[in-house]
Amino acid sequence: MQVWDLLDIKPSSSKYSWSNKRVGPEHIVARLDRFIIQSSYLLLGLEPRMHILANSISDHKPIKLELLAHLDLGPIPFRFSPLWVKEPDFMKIVKECWNQPVKGSPFYIWEENLRRVKGALKRWAKTLSNLATERKTIKATLVSHQNGMENVTLTKDLLDQETQLQQ
């Protein structure tokens, strides 16, 4: 591959992208799926990262390539979720923030109330348990479980745990 100036990107998570899902000594795992890029991309200041993700029903795990530029874009901007409105504490938080006394011009009062509501909602949203958070947690558990399966003899219990996490 050096003749063509190609690099095989090593995975940053997991080792194997394929498993035959057999138990005992017949169990086989391999890294069949890979990304190959030209090394000239490195001159552009891009850092390639390959991730082997958790699989669901296939014997192949999906793979993801990231080409990261070394830029610090600052903090993530505030994003309002319409799902928050359905939560019982939402209106209480907004009213508490909005009803605090503020002195100044009408525009300043408006801006200050919005700033307080934003901060309170950001703190409150971190305490919420939602489906997206639960799914992320389960996905992380699945990845951890599948990575652990790479280093041990595969058993029926491990496969059953994997299936349960996948569901």
Q: Domain spans of the chain?
A: 2-74+129-166, 88-125
Distance (Å, whole) CA 43 – CA 126? 39
Question: What values do phi and psi take at 149, rounded to 5?
Answer: -65, -20
Residue that has been written with the tokens 């991309």 in this structure: 41
Q: Which residues pair with 60 in a beta bridge?
A: 18
**pLDDT by position in tens, the chain (length 167):** 556 778 888 898 788 888 888 888 888 888 888 888 887 767 777 788 899 888 877 888 899 988 887 666 677 788 888 888 888 899 999 999 999 999 999 999 999 999 999 999 999 888 876 666 777 888 888 888 888 888 788 888 888 888 888 87
Tokens read off for 91: 């209106």
Q: How many CB atoms lie within 10 A of CB 105?
A: 8
Distance (Å, whole) CA 59 – CA 22? 11
Tokens read off for 81: 């979720």
CB 28 within 8 A of CB 22: yes
Q: How many CB atoms lie within 10 A of CB 140?
A: 11
